[in-house]
Structure 1
Amino acid sequence: MAGYQCLTFLTDYGLEDGFVASCHGVAARICPGVRIIDITHLVPPGDVRRGATVLAQTVPYLPPGVHVAVVDPGVGTTRRGVAIDIGGQVFVGPDNGLLSWAVHVAGNGPVRAYELTNTELWLEPVSATFHGRDIFMPVAAHLVNGLDLAAVGRALQLEELVMLPPPVRRIRENSVEGEVLTVDRFGNIQLSVTAADLERLGIRKGGVVLLSLGRRKLSVPYQWTFGSVAPGELVAYADSAGCVALAVNAGDAAQRLGLPPGAHVRIAPAPDSFAPTGVLPR
């Protein structure tokens, strides 16, 4: 299987319909016995940034493989389908920025890239709205089967690839500014600020941070985990990706704070006069 240990799959298809199973079936017919790892199929519909974040944070823990990702609001338009080699691993999907963060996290960036133009690898007829089944998955399965990457289509210049702008993250003398990367199903808010950023500011676990959320300011304990504070209290912590996150123990931080993805947040050491409150000031 060309040295690839698996085929991974991320989409916004959901689980109510047969979309995911159809794609699995296509891969299995082309490459019997292929090991498919489903990353998630519950990316919010059309949310390319959420898909890009999940893919980038998951791929480092996966075996070398061909990674198919499909969050594709431009399906059926002039947007390209691409295969991107990072050296030993390949990403297949729409050229809309979805793959851009993962190819840098999982390697040293793209090594070579191709537009998916070899129609002999596709299923026929191709649906205008289901390229995951008819284009991306068959191409990926052929690659796992040993097809040379150059056979998928036209070579691209790496600078032609669509790249999402990096999340906002600015370290200043006494604070760090970031944005909400994602909100998970528990209502936990992941920020683009990292735990290492807070260490550079001298902030250690067990202390208190001052959050600036627009005009609102809030002092919050910076702890190890949710259970480090009482139920219902707000806490900042370093999550499993090394990012600073906000949570409410046994509650929903996103609902309480009203912070959608992309919202800006500033974090600074809390002055001694600030005690952790975990609740918004009136």
Structure 2
Amino acid sequence: MPGTPWISLTTDYGLTDGFVAACHGVIARLAPAARVIDVTHLVPPADVRHGAAVLAQTVAYLPVGVHVAVVDPGVGTARRGVALAAPDGLLIGPDNGLLPDAADALGGVTAAVELTNPAWLAPRVSGTFHGRDVFAPVAARLALGASLHEAGPAIDPAGLVRLPEPIVAADPAGFTAEVLTVDHFGNVQLAAAAELLDGLAPTVRVSAPAAAPLPAPEPVEQSASGRVAVRGRTFGDARPGGLVVHPDSAGRVAVAVNGGRAVDRLGVRPGDLVRISG
């Protein structure tokens, strides 16, 4: 792939330390003309599934370039550092399940290498900061147009670590799906494809394992079989304070509260199961 002057960064590094700046600095020293897009640095610490979901839902909207992702609780262990080529971009990060869904969003893995060439890495590689010492310098060199295969030996894409498929189970009355992510607004994204909403009634029930009690003044129906929600297109399809189940911008089913936070209402977290029934 020819030089791609765009680099994106997705990490769980946070914004209170110098970790993100160090990665920017390494890239700027090696490829000063490269432009860097910060996707997010607020992935929950060590939450590989959340990072993988954010990355996969974002990369298709970024310029063709080099995408670095670091959510790496196994840093410094035997887990591999890898670079993946796809038709619409390159991905760099740990081989822990973080990258394959994003590679699929970019057209699928066409080549993969393990990052072992010492000439491409920092002179001294820290045991705990591969974002700075491994992934950032590799990204800069690839952005300058260096060959992927100079970074290290080819590996079989079929051997890349993949995260377990999230639970989605449909039945004639509705479906049960795993909570995939919770966004900044408290909207609960399920692993279910939005098409599973087709054919459900305009009013549905949302059942969660540990739904939080509603404030006393709130006139929203709830029962042992779940809470009533509008099946809508956007937040405003529910009355203020009401639940709405809708297709989100990533093509997944989401549960939201018009003017509130569905995650607090339902009392769920990623990995929990939520049932939507007609």
Taking structure 2 as the reference length, what is the TM-score of the superposition? Answer: 0.90
111-120 vs 210-219, greater mean Cα deviation:
210-219
C-alpha deviation, 1:36, in angstroms: 0.6
SS at match of 1:38: strand
Residues of 2 paired with 1:160 and 1:105: CA distance? 18
1:1-282 aligned at under 5 Å gives the runs 2-107=2-107, 109-199=108-198, 202-203=199-200, 207-214=202-209, 216-269=225-278
Residues of 2 paired with 1:259 and 1:229: CA distance? 20
Residues of 2 paired with 1:135 and 1:78: CA distance? 14
Residues of 2 paired with 1:79 and 1:47: CA distance? 16
129-138 vs 3-12, greater mean Cα deviation:
3-12
Deviations 1:56-110 (A, max 9, x none): 0001111111100000001111111000111241110000001121111221x21
How many pairs were matched up?
A: 264
C-alpha deviation, 1:177, in angstroms: 2.2
Which contiguous aligned blocks of 4+ residues in structure 1 show a shift greater than 3 angstroms?
none
In the alignment, residue 112 of structure 2 is paired with which amino acid? A
Q: Which runs of 5+ in 1 are unaligned?
A: 270-282
The answer to whether the Cα contact below 8 Å between 2:3 and 2:142 also exists between their aligned partners in 1 is no
Deviations 1:163-215 (A, max 9, x none): 1122222333332221100011211101112221211xx137xx111223347
Q: Which runs of 5+ in 2 are unaligned?
A: 210-223
Question: What is the aligned-residue RMSD (CA, Å)?
Answer: 1.6
Residues of 2 paired with 1:114 and 1:58: CA distance? 23
The answer to whether the Cα contact below 8 Å between 2:255 and 2:262 also exists between their aligned partners in 1 is yes
In the alignment, residue 110 of structure 2 is paired with which amino acid? V
SS at match of 1:153: coil
